[in-house]
Structure formats: C-alpha cells, structure tokens
Amino acid sequence: MPEPRPTRRRADAQRNALTIIQAAADLFAQRGIDVPVRDVAQHAGVGMGTLYRHYPTRADLVVAVYQHQVDICAAAGPTLLAQAPSPFTALREWTDLFTGFLATKHGLAAALQGDPATSEALHRSFLDRLLPVCDDLLRAATASGEIRTPITAFSLMRATGNLCIGAGQDTRYDARAAAQLLLSGLTVPARLPDPSAQAVLPSRQRTTPPAAGSPDDPA
C-alpha cells in the first residue's frame, strides 16, 4: 500500500491540531483551564500520542487555544460589521464573543508560570490584533448615532476584562450579561458634572440654637 503523500500528511496533521484546539477551548470554557489533557484528547477523538505530538505541554496547548481565539475575534469584527443589522449590533455580538474568549485568557497566567516573556509577548499580540478591531466597531457605532457616550477601545476592552474576572467561580454571576449592560450604557448621553454649578444650600439656615424642649432640640 503506498505511503500517504506529504501534502496529505500535513493536511491531516493540521486538521488534528485544529480539532484538539477546538476541543480544548470547549472544555476550558466549561470546566476551567485545569481540565485533564486526557479529557481534551478524548473530546477531540484523538490519542494521547497525537495530542502530545502537537502540544508537548499544557502551556503549549493553552497558548495555541489563546492564539486561535484571538484569530477568531480579529476575523469576526469585519464580518459582523458587514453582516449585522447595525454597527451597534455588530459591537454587541463581537463583545459577547470577546467575553467568552476572556475565560481562556484569564487562565493563561497560571498555565505560563515561570515564562513571563511568553506571557508578555502574547499580551502584546492580543492588544495589537484586537484593539484596531474594537476601535473600528466603536467608530462605526458612534458614526451611526447609536453610541452617545464616547469611550476608547482600550477602555472598553479593559472594562469588559474586569467584568470577567472570577466569572467562573460563582454560577450566579453572568459576565456576558454584565458586558452587555456596560454596552447599553454607551447609548445614553454622558452626564458630566457642571463645574459652574453652585452647591445647593438649605432653604433655611438656623442662626440660633433651638429652644429647649422644642421638636428640634436634640436633647
């Protein structure tokens, strides 16, 4: 029986790698970053040898999932902007996708303990890829008149990230719903304090102490 052609072997390897990444992303979202790699292999329908051939360590697997999800979020922005009914709807759908991705991102630090250089490089890549996507969505939603309170892409992504911290520790908390509530606030004009406004003074100022026995006497 002839050996498979090299291009076919490469295609099979790429398909296996993607299947493992998708299975790991599913389980990370459901059970956290510490899910046993054996469960990942089973969920992907591959053997442990195949998994370790592609991703020798847990950190390798987590980084691959992280990079894959960054790619998905980066590609989703222009697609949603072109297909969604409105720019703000596109922003909502992208933020929901981004919020789901952050569950993997927050587990990355633990998986990369002792490798701060890799962690820092991934964070820079994360910002370089996703900040422009978020900025395009915000600009489009602002130009359409749907967003009435200005915010930068960095501030929105940072605020969304903060809403996701610890989300997996309490089932009563829905980070996705919180992120959508944050977006809803952008549709309302900002009410900034007027520095020229004078403090409201009481209509009556007492200049003498109350008489003893009166209703106003604190004694």
pLDDT (tens digit, 9 = 90+) per residue, 162-172?
A: 998 877 778 88
Fold observed for domain 11-56: Arc Repressor Mutant, subunit A (1.10.10)
Region 143-148: mean pLDDT is: 94
The closest alpha carbon to 74, from 135, 32, 117, belongs to: 135
Token pair of 6, please?
Answer: 């090299």
User: Which residues of the chain does CATH 1.10.10.60 include?
Assistant: 11-56
The torsion defined by the Cα of 85, 87, 89 and 90, in degrees rounded to 10, comes to 100
In terms of CATH architecture, what is 57-185?
Orthogonal Bundle (1.10)
Give SS3 for 96.
helix
Q: How confident is the model at residue 144 (pLDDT cuts 50, 70, 90)?
A: very high
User: Which residues of the chain does CATH 1.10.357.10 include?
Assistant: 57-185
Q: Which residue has the higher pLDDT, 31 or 124?
A: 124
Q: Which residue has the higher pLDDT, 209 or 99?
A: 99
To the nearest whole number, what is the mean pLDDT of the chain?
Answer: 84
